[in-house]
Each structure stands twice: as structure tokens, then as C-alpha cells.
Structure 1
């Protein structure tokens, strides 16, 4: 039987605990306990909790399902965008609004605290914005979305608005912010 990958166990345990309690609310000991590995194993793979946090942000951004939905040229672009945001919404609703977006959570908690994590977040926001931009450009090319605004500006605005909707849904513990986002995004912005 193959040995479990300790680094992967630490990353998965870190993701789970950091999403639940926040970066500053979790120590290395709690992460290693969650992973079921000795504390010393942590430092064989990561020089610090900050290094683990940056790795988790990178992994979080490599969500191939999210990217595949947005970039699938066999599906009409507005349908790709709607499917993307609907799937995200359902993830947060299923968590009973207890779990936010790791990007939003880390941005609020760590942007002024960790340059390493801030840089990882900036790269991920840029990649996500670019993926949205591709779908919007495709919608503009087929006439489904007006070309009077740059696709990059629309993409950045949608991401900014969506992250705000996630925060508000967590505070209110209801899906109304998601519904408002979807209505305005698809009936007013993406027209």
C-alpha cells in the first residue's frame, strides 16, 4: 500500500481548517493534527504557515472545473458565465454560508499582513478575471453582450461584485445577495 503524501495531507488539512477558522485562528499544531501527521513533518514541507497559505491559494486557483466551465467554447458564453456563478453560489449555500471564498477571506485577513500571500492572491484574482474576460469577449463577439465596454472592465467588475455578494451572504446567512448579483449581472451588466 503506498504511503500517503504528507505534503498533500497538510495542504488539504490546511485548506479545511483555514476556511473554517481563518488564517490567524489556526496554528500549525491544529493543521498537523487535522492532517494526522507529526508537527515536525510540517517543517519538512513548508518553511512557515505563510508558505502553506501561499500554496493553498495557488491550489485553490487551479480549480480545473471552474476554469473548464468558463473556457469551454462548445457552450454559449453567457451560459458558461451563468453556470460558473450558479455553481459557486450553490457551494456557499450548501455550506449554510459558514464558508466564504478563500480569496475573499484571505484578502480581508492577510492583505496587509503577508506580502507573499497578497502576491498569490493578486495572481489568482488576475487569472480568474482573465477567465471571465474570455467568456465575455466571446459573448461580445457573438453579439450577446454589448461591446461598448471593455471585456476586461466588465470581468473585473463582476468579480468585485461577486466577492462582495459572498461577504454579504455570509453576514446575512441567506442567498439574497447571490440572487441580486445574478439578476443584475445577467439582466443589466451582461446585455
Structure 2
């Protein structure tokens, strides 16, 4: 990989790590540059502004998120098993209340949606992509019983995703996994499956 891409990727990786803990507004470029050991001039070579950096960081996050979902598609032929593994991994990562594993949508969306229209649009595009993939899984005929025949896959995917985002937010507030446990029970009931 060229040095140009190495430095850009390094800035994004370091920035994501810091923003997961502190949020977008509370972190200045100086803190990111110091942690990345990159001079200020180099930052502006890759990103015209902090907002552009934020957009690139979120785009990178959603690309990696979709890659994770794609891996699940190769690991599980049955959409029901795949869905339950997806929700179970969400339960484990968000239930730990660890900054390193925090969902970037939960951590940053409310904050930046009011501050930056370009970043809000990246969030919208990214979350729409996640919901579409979940809807595809719910609509796959390979695994009977993943969704009741009278349920619309897109609506169910949206409802489930919203529920899990809300449960993740409550987990941050409560500092326990009770909301995520309830989300898992509701998901199992809706899909007519047992937990892993």
C-alpha cells in the first residue's frame, strides 16, 4: 500500500478510536494529530476539514460494517442462524459498555446530525444499507420460519434495527445489559427462534 494511503488510513483508525470514547465535538484535530504522530500539514493533505475527516471516518466505518455482514453471509447458509448470530454479536459487543466496541451510530449520530449535513447523510446512507441487508436476510426463502409470512421484511428489518439502536443507547445510560437482553428476547419472539 502506498504511503499516502497508509497515512490516511492511520489517521482514520486513530481518529475512530478517539471519537468512540469522546465524541466528535469534544475532540480537536490537535489531539488526533498528536495521537497519530502526524503533522498538521499532512492532515490537510488528506482532508480539507474536520468535517471531511468525519465523513471519511464514517464511510470507512460503514464499509467495514458491511464487510462484517458479508462474512456472516458466507458463514451461515440459513438466514435465521445468520440473523441470530448478528444480534448475539451485537448483544455481546454493546453489552460490554466498552468504548472500543461502541457502535458509531449510537455514539455519534445524535451529536453530528444537527451539526453537519454531510455527516448526517453518510449516517443515513450507511444505516439504510444495513437495514437493506437485514431485510434481504429476513426475506431469504432458504430458511423457513425466519419471518412470519404476513410480515414485510423491510419493515421488520427497520423495526429490529431501531430497537437494537435504542437498546444500545439505554445500555450506555443504565450501564448494564438489561435493554439489550430485552431486545434479544423480543427479537427471538418476533422471529420465532430460540437464543443461541
1:17 counterpart residue number: 18
Indicate if the aligned counterparts of 2:76 and 2:82 stay in contact, CA closer than 8 A: no
1:66 counterpart residue number: 69
CA distance in 1 between partners of 2:84 and 2:184 (Å): 8
For residues 171-190 of structure 1, what are the structure 2 equivalents within 5 Å? 171-187=173-189, 189-190=190-191
TM (normalized to structure 1)? 0.90
Indicate if the aligned counterparts of 1:20 and 1:99 stay in contact, CA closer than 8 A: no
Of 157-166 and 80-89, more deviation after overlay is shown by 80-89
CA distance in 1 between partners of 2:44 and 2:146 (Å): 51
Indicate if the aligned counterparts of 2:95 and 2:168 stay in contact, CA closer than 8 A: no
Unaligned residue ranges in structure 1 (runs of 5+): none
Encode CA deviations 1:41-83: one digit per residue, 9 max, x unaligned.
Answer: 11010011111111111111112123321x3484211110111
Count of matched residue positions in the alignment of Structure 1 and Structure 2: 188
Quickly say closer, same or farther: Cα 1:54–1:74, change in 2 above 3 A. same
1:106 counterpart residue number: 108
For residues 71-110 of structure 1, what are the structure 2 equivalents within 5 Å? 71-72=73-74, 74-96=76-98, 100-110=102-112
1:115 aligns with 2:88: no
